[in-house]
Structure 1
Amino acid sequence: MIAQPLPTPTAPAAILALSKAFADPLRLDVLRLLQNNSFGVMELCHITTTPQSGMSHHLKILTGCGLLETKREGTSIFYRRAMLPQNGFLSDLTKTFLETLDQTALSPELLKTRQEIYDDRSQQSADFFKRCAAQLKENQDLVASFEHYSGCVGDLIGNENLPRETRVIEIGAGESPLLTSLSSTFKSVLVVDNSAEMLKKTKARVEQEQLKNVHFMLQDYDTLTLDFPADLLVCNMVLHHLPAPAAFFQKAAGLIKPKGKLLLIDLCPHQQDWTRDICGDLWLGFEPDDLDLWASASGFQRGQGAFLGLKNGFQLQLKIFTAHSL
C-alpha cells in the first residue's frame, strides 16, 4: 500500500469540506451524472430541474473541494469529474466513496432528462449535416485533410496484420478517402451513418470509385445492432460529433468481437470555436488521457498510436484499442 502524506494543519477543514460536498442528494446526483460525461450549467439545470442559482451554488461546493473541474469548449464551460491526486491524504476515501456512489443507478427521471440533453445534442448535429452536407468535406479539409494522415493510418492498420477477411465497420465515413483504402484492404466494409444526406454522399463516392464490397446502413450509432460482431471498428473524425463521447466506447465494446480492434482518429483539445459553425463539431477535441480512460473503463486495452501536428495548428491523435477477450 502506498503511504499517504501526513495531514496538514488544514486537514480538518478539508475533511469537513469533502463531507459537506457529499452530504446533499442533489450533489450526489451531479457526481453520478458526471461519472463519464461533461455537462454545462444549464444542461445540469435541465436534467435535475434545478434553478441556475441553486445549481451554481452546488457546483461551486463540488469544485471547491476538488471533486469537479471545468473544461472550456470555445465559449462554453463544461463541468466534469476531476482527476483525483494519487497520493493525497483524502484520495483513498474519495475514491472509495465515488466507486460506491457509481454503483447506485440514476433515477428514471434523471435518465429521462439526461437523454433529452443527448437528444438535443444529436439533433443539433443532425440539423447541421442536413443543412451543410454539400460543403462539409471542403470545410473539414480546412481542419484535417485525410491526405495529411493517410500514411500513418496505413501504417497503424498494416502493423496489426489483419487478414483480408476482417469484417470492418466505419462509423460516419462521409466522403473521406479512408473508405477507399479500407475497401481495397479488406473483403467487406459496412458504413453506418445516421444522416441520410451524408450516407447519400458516401454512396455517390462509392459508385464513382466502383467499390463493390461496401455496404450501407442508415442507423443511429447508439441503437446499432449487428448480426455478427466486427473485427475492426473505425471512427475517423466522428467522435467530436457524438453527444456522449464516453458512451461511444461502451457501445463499441458490444459491437466488436473479443480481441477485435477499434481505430479511433480525432483531434486533441483546441479552442478553434469556428469549427462548430462550419464543421458541426459538438466537442473541441479530446484529452488523450480521457480517451484512454473511457476505453479502459469499457474493457479496451490501448495498443499502438501516434500524434500528428498539422500546419494549421491542429493536432491529431490516432489510437488503436483492442477489445477484451472472453
Structure 2
Amino acid sequence: MQLIDLLIEPLSYEFMLRALITTLTASVVCAVLSCWLVLIGWSLMGDAVSHAVLPGVVLAYIVGAPFALGAVIFGFLAVLLIGIVRDTSRVKEDAAIGIVFTTLFSLGLVLISVTPAHTDLNHIIFGNLLGVSWTDLAQIIILGALTLAILLTKRRDFTLYAFDPTHAHAIGLNPRLLGALLLALLATTAVVALQAVGVILVVAMLIIPGATAYLLTNRFSRMLMIAPLIAALCAVIGLYASYYFDTASGGMVVLSQGAAFFLAYLFSPQHGLISAKLARYHRTRNESRLQHSPN
C-alpha cells in the first residue's frame, strides 16, 4: 500500500473525518491557551478547572442548557472556592487546588451515576472522539473559533498580564478582569476538548503544547505559533496511529504530544538536556585545545 493510500483510507469514513476536524480544532485552541497557562504558572489551575467543570457539564445536560454555560459557572466556582480555602485557612494554594478540584470532580462522577441519560455520560470523562456527530462538531467549531478569536484579539493584554500585572494595571488595564477572562476561556476550552479526550486528558492538551514550545523558543510570539503547529501535527499523528493500531484515539493524541515534549526536552537547541551536555562537551574540548596549543 502506498503512502497516499495510507493517508486517504481513514478519511473515507465520515466518523474519521469528523474526528480529525474535532481533534485539530481542540488541539489548536488548547495549544494557544496553554502558552499563557505555562507562562503565568497556571498548570495546576488548568488541572483544577478542567476537572471541576464536570459537574457543570452534567447539570447542564440535565436541565438542557449549553455545556459551555455549566462549565464556565463551575470553573469560576472552583476558582472562588480555591481562593476562599487558601485565604481563610492554613492550607496552601496547591493543597487547596487539589481539595477543590477532586471534590468537584467526584461530584460530577456521582451526578453521572444517578443521571438517566440517552447518551453515555461516561464519554465526558474519557472522551468519545470517534462518536462525534455533526451537531457536536458544529458546537466545537463555534466555541473553538470564539475562544481563539478572543485569545488572539486580547493577546497583547494577556501577555502583559502574564509578565507584569502591576504594569498592566498602571497603564489602565484591569488584571482581575483579564485573569477572570482567561479563566472563562479556560473553562470554555475544556468543553471544546471534552469530546476529543474527555475531562481526564484535557489538562494534558492544556499544558503539553505550551510547555513544549517553551523549551523550543525564548520569544512568546513564536510560542504562539509553535505550540498550535506541534499540537496539530500530534493530532493528525495520534488519530492515524489510533486507526491503524486500533487503540484509543484520545489517548494516542495525548501520547503523541507527550512524545513531542520528550523530544524537545532532550534535543531542544537551547534548552534540551542532551543538546546542553553536547554544547558543554564541545566548549570544554575547545578550551582544552586552546590551553594546550603552542603559542
TM-score band w.r.t. shorter chain: under 0.3
Higher helix share: 2
What's the TM-score, normalizing by structure 1?
Answer: 0.25
